Amino acid sequence: MREDWIEAIKTIVDENRIRLQEPMSRHTTFRIGGMAEIFLMPTIKEAVDVITLCRAKKIPYTIIGNGSNLLVGDKGIPGVVIEFGANASSIEVKENMIHAEAGALLSKVAHKALEASLGGMEFAAGIPGSIGGAVVMNAGAYGGEMKDILVSADLLTKDGEVVEVPVEEISLSYRHSRVMETGEVVLGVTLKLVSGEKEKIEAVMQELRQKRQEKQPLEFPSAGSTFKRPEGYFAGKLIMDAGLRGYRVGDAQVSEKHCGFVINRGQATAAEVEELMRRVQEKVEQEFQVRLEPEVRRLGEFS
């Protein structure tokens, strides 16, 4: 059966962009994860055709971007993993509008905006994700969110149609969009920015970059903020106040620099990260009666 899948996929995606038993630790910022059974690096058009094939043949498929918000299980991901990466990352700037394919990195889109003297995307310059994933979870930082700049998204529907959907219908809220529930796939986005002075835009980006370097444990692999911000609280402060700064399970550790981050000290497993997260949740709930909800997305099979 697997051979049938691979042969069918080879009619769509060039063989040199298909990898078998690919370590997902190479494709997540956590540097954690077992093997992807079949790993693809398609263009957007190829991705649509592969997803259509997978749906028709009932082949399990998973879509990832830059892997910056993922915890992949130690047993890996069965079926097909479709990476929206370098082959699906074109960026076009027209006046104050930017259209980017889903695999374009936020940092690159923000840099293109800077080159065109367009402001409004400074908050996203340091987020290490792809723009498709940023829309799926309405990524944000330093007071800005994707919903502030998004005009529309090109979505592949469950019926196999590619449609342009206005931002109002995508239901963006804190770390959430309708795409999380519908099974739709973000293929591209259109952003509306504002003309500004290049030097001022660059200064804001530099200031936010410096804040990140000072406050976040960028020297270690992580998946960014581990937990969502509970209403009325900050996850990192609750974890710190619960006495969990530096707390470890194996090589998974609550960052000493910023308690809102779980970091990989070197050889952490997904099982260790999960156990650490569970203990953090229990301790915070016990101390403050607040249940922390994970922001990190689990993918694949866990022990």
Residues forming the active site: 175, 225, 295
Amino acid at site 79: G
Q: Coil, strand or helix: which one is 120? A: coil
Nearest by Cα to 162 from 150, 152, 172, 151: 152
What angle is formed at CA 190 by the lines to CA 12 and CA 9, rounded to 5 degrees? 10
**Is residue 22 a contact partner of residue 36, using CB atoms and an 8 Å limit?**
yes
Strands lying side by side in the sheet with 185-192 = 91-94, 97-101, 185-192, 150-156, 162-166
In the structure encoding, which two tokens stand for residue 115, read together? 């080159």
Give the end-to-end CA distance of the chain in Å, rounded to a whole number.
25
Nearest by Cα to 87 from 36, 161, 3, 18: 18
**Is residue 60 a contact partner of residue 78, using CB atoms and an 8 Å limit?**
yes
